[in-house]
Amino acid sequence: MSELHHECGVVAVYHWPNRELSPLLPGDTPASAARLVPRMLIDIQNRGQLAAGFTTYNPQRSQLIDTHKEVGAVAEVFHMNRSDEYERLMREYSGHAAIGHVRYATCGKDDRSYAQPFERHHIEKGKWFSFAFNGQLANYRELRQEILSQTDFHLARENDTEILMHSICLELSGDRRPTMIELLGVLSQKFDGAYNIVYLNAVGDMFVARDPLGIRPLCWAKEGPLFAAASESVALSNLGFATENIHSLEPGHAIVIQNGQFEILKFAESPAKAHCFFEWIYFANVASTLDDHNVYLARKALGERLAARETVTVDSDTIVVPVPDTAKAAAAAMAFALRVPCLEGLMRNRYVGRTFIEGRNRADKARVKYTPVPEVLRGKKVLLVEDTIVRSTTMRALIRQLKTRGGAREVHVRVACPPIVAPCFYGIDMSTVKELFAPKFLKNGPLTPAIEAEMARELGADSLQYLPVSDLADCVGKPASELCQACVDGVYPTPAGRRLYQLAVENDRRPELAAGSAGRTYEVDATPGTCGTVPDSAIAASS
């Protein structure tokens, strides 16, 4: 499913310089710890393919912290297919501490200046720092206006990462010397939304922090002299950390490494949790375990729920076909429960990168990325399993290809997720109601079989079935009260999210704002198509 993108992923490594070498280290000095970062970023490449980078710390060089970043996939940015260039880069940026980032843009342009980490130079070592950020600030527009209200302040970029940088700078300005936990405590009072932060300064201090709601996942491990953290556990397990040593960082907590000391400290209260359910059903690597529940097992459970709800008569010509790649676990579980074959009737071209797909729209891109296999599909009753349907253009193209190019007799779409009815303001690239497929069918009430039939006709499918919202918590293995399900139930866990949703609903009623033409919800002003403020009427209506 190529319609949905996450914002980014973060990693961090630290090897204590005066201790014995970790057996997991890819070299013979603590300074080789930085070489772990590209390997870790490869493992979370699923979280962002637009740009990548890292910052390393080495007190033996004049550039105490130094940053390398570029637009492109991890292998491109770090020249991993050219051993001479890769080795030169690793020597230049060697260090015993490092942070890294992969990016997909939900906010800001697609150029190098938006790639992370963001480094801020300063003559004072404690104020010379670099950081990377996973998430999205729902109150980005208000924070931006607050900064620009100061006549001497200027922001060069349209993204919340720069807001975060300036917020840190302000707290470190003048004679202020807050501890890292004090700094995070102040930021937590300002920020509304999802924010995982990895931070490194020119003294060699590091922190890894997770927002008080724990919206995005963040995992860590420590064995002997080596510490590492990443957005997903797979990046840690592939380094060789033992499973029992890999943990999820609790919301509102930070891991601080300072003066050689390792501490886990609380910087903000966490009265509620709001883990994004999409991490388990789509975004995360299927091998990851997030907040003590495995991603593969969650997707397997979703497929079993789909099978339990199946109404189509299963015969000898019935097959289950997943939309590659993240729907495979759900499709296989569904097929096993129904006792029918699970076959790959759609092949994904893994060598077509996001940057190089030509075409005027998503349907064109789908034709390039997916190839139906007539030898598998011809004359078959296909149960097509997908993670979710967001904007529907990719699904329409796939159904058409399955029938016209693949020769499928019937195509019945089965979605391992409820209908997406509301935007996300916490780090997923869908922020307006107009761009979504389901809301226009659900204006007068809940989802019914009749509405699903209407949706199927719109898509060109023979039938369509979604999972209900009530199934999500059971499949993920978390109480519904600990999940953010705002995109499927409209219940947002933060005040700014609720305000933006009200604005999104109002924008949906404005006929002059065509779908996809007005930018993201938090960019829409009273003037169509411009960037600006949230109207007071929207804020009042949601109070």
pLDDT per residue over 250-300, tens digit each? 999 999 999 999 999 999 999 999 999 999 999 899 999 999 999 999 999
Residue 220 in contact with residue 228, Cβ under 8 Å?
yes
Is the pLDDT assigned to residue 529 strictly greater than 50? no
CATH of 294-542, one of 3.40.50.2020, 3.40.225.10, 3.40.50.150, 2.30.110.10: 3.40.50.2020
Residue 220 in contact with residue 250, Cβ under 8 Å?
no
* Cα gap 125→336, rounded to integer Å: 59
Q: Which residue has the higher pLDDT, 528 or 53?
A: 53
Residues 492-519, mean pLDDT to the nearest whole number: 80
The 10s digit of each residue's pLDDT in 453-476 is 999 999 999 999 999 999 999 999
pTM exceeds cut of 0.85: yes
- Distances 10 to 229, 235, 279, 354, 474 between C-alpha atoms, Å: 8, 10, 15, 20, 28
Confidence of residue 154 (pLDDT cuts 50, 70, 90): confident
The 10s digit of each residue's pLDDT in 67-118 is 999 999 999 999 999 999 999 999 999 999 999 999 975 454 567 888 999 9
Q: Can you read off the two tokens belonging to residue 107?
A: 């906010």
* Cα gap 467→385, rounded to integer Å: 12
Q: What is the pLDDT of residue 429?
A: 78
Q: What is the pLDDT of residue 533?
A: 34
Q: Which of 149-153, 230-234, 387-391, 415-419 is the least confident region?
A: 149-153
Q: What is the pLDDT of residue 534?
A: 32
Q: Which H or E element spans position 369?
A: helix 362-369
Q: Which of 125-139, 162-176, 287-301, 339-353 is the least confident region?
A: 339-353
Q: Cite the DSSP H helix spans in 196-294.
A: 234-237, 278
**Given the residues 8, 219, 342, 475, the one annotated as active site:** 8
Is the pLDDT assigned to residue 395 strictly greater than 50? yes
Residues 393-399, mean pLDDT to the nearest whole number: 92
Residues 425-442, mean pLDDT to the nearest whole number: 89
Residues 518-523, mean pLDDT to the nearest whole number: 52
Is the pLDDT assigned to residue 364 strictly greater than 80? no
* Cα gap 464→455, rounded to integer Å: 7
Q: What is the pLDDT of residue 157?
A: 79
Is the pLDDT assigned to residue 32 strictly greater than 90? yes
* Cα gap 78→70, rounded to integer Å: 9
For the chain, give the percent of residues with pLDDT over 70. Answer: 89
Residues 356-384, mean pLDDT to the nearest whole number: 78
* Cα gap 409→398, rounded to integer Å: 14
The 10s digit of each residue's pLDDT in 187-204 is 999 999 999 999 999 999
Is the pLDDT assigned to residue 353 strictly greater than 90? no
The CATH superfamily holding the domain 8-271 is: Aminohydrolase, N-terminal nucleophile (Ntn) domain (3.60.20.10)
Q: Which of 25-34, 109-118, 325-334 is the least confident region?
A: 109-118
Residues 430-443, mean pLDDT to the nearest whole number: 88
3-state secondary structure of 62: coil
* Cα gap 469→503, rounded to integer Å: 24
* Adjacent-strand bridge partners of 15: 226
Q: Which H or E element spans position 230?
A: strand 226-230
Phi, then psi, of 102 in degrees rounded to 5:
-120, 145
Q: Which residue has the higher pLDDT, 5 or 286?
A: 286
Told to judge if 8 belongs to the known catalytic residues of this protein, a careful annotator would answer yes
Q: What is the pLDDT of residue 133?
A: 94
Q: What is the pLDDT of residue 225?
A: 97
For the chain, give the percent of residues with pLDDT over 90. Answer: 77
Confidence of residue 61 (pLDDT cuts 50, 70, 90): very high
3-state secondary structure of 98: strand
